[in-house]
Amino acid sequence: MSAIPLDCKDLYEDSKTSSGVYNIYPDCTITSSVQAFCDMTTMGGGWTAIQKRVTGSLSFDRYWTEYKNGFGLPEQDFWVGNDFIHLLTKENNSSLYVSITLLNGTTLYEMYDRFSVSDEAGKYQLFLAGPATGTLGDSMLSYNLSGMFFSTPDRDSMLSYNLSGIFFSTPDRDNDWSPGNCAAHSNIRGGWWFNWCHWAFLNVQWSPEYWESPWYPTVQNGTSVNGTTMMIKRY
């Protein structure tokens, strides 16, 4: 373990085995502290939460700077901040764990072998790789609409909802591949890695009538969603 805890895995290895909010230091300096929720029980413990939605009371309809710096309370509804996600994953040695808890108490999850995010200059580009395993199904890598195509001046590709290589977008920063800004759409309104909009999106307005495709096709709308979590852990 490093002299100061880089993340929740360092804390777990230092015998901090109770889940809760801890200070971590993603930049390995004492001045880079950020509060994060640490899950010390799921799949061996040591997971750092980068997103949590528990009550649905906090709006995720936020602009670029707020997603850059983070917002919310780690034990409740929370986005840790894209700068911190980059620092935590820049060595490209982290796994991603996504879970959705349903109203009936069932928790579904999907784990991706490799997850990293570039810095702000790189528009927080997402790099994601499998294998993907779990009970949610893979809606971030492999869900494609085969046979359909789109073109941009610098990209000619199959119309795809594969999120690896996709830039982060917010209502005030349009970095997706669709003709409009997915993040600013009235039924979406939130920051995410949008391709040709989405089949997986956990930062939408917390309104069942608006929340389409939280994790398609397993969870097709928000009427059954009671909470979400995104967590990362170094190998």
- Cβ atoms of residues 196 and 158 within 8 Å: no
Q: How confident is the model at residue 110 (pLDDT cuts 50, 70, 90)?
A: very high
CA atoms of 157 and 36, how far apart (whole Å): 37
Q: Is the pLDDT of residue 106 over 90?
A: yes
pLDDT at 151: 39
Domain 8-234: homologous superfamily in CATH: Gamma Fibrinogen, chain A, domain 1 (3.90.215.10)
Lowest mean pLDDT among 17-31, 57-71, 161-175: 17-31
pLDDT score at 208: 62
153-168 pLDDT, tens digit per residue, is 444 344 457 899 999 9
CB 136 within 8 A of CB 224: no
193-213: pLDDT as tens digits: 998 888 899 998 877 666 778
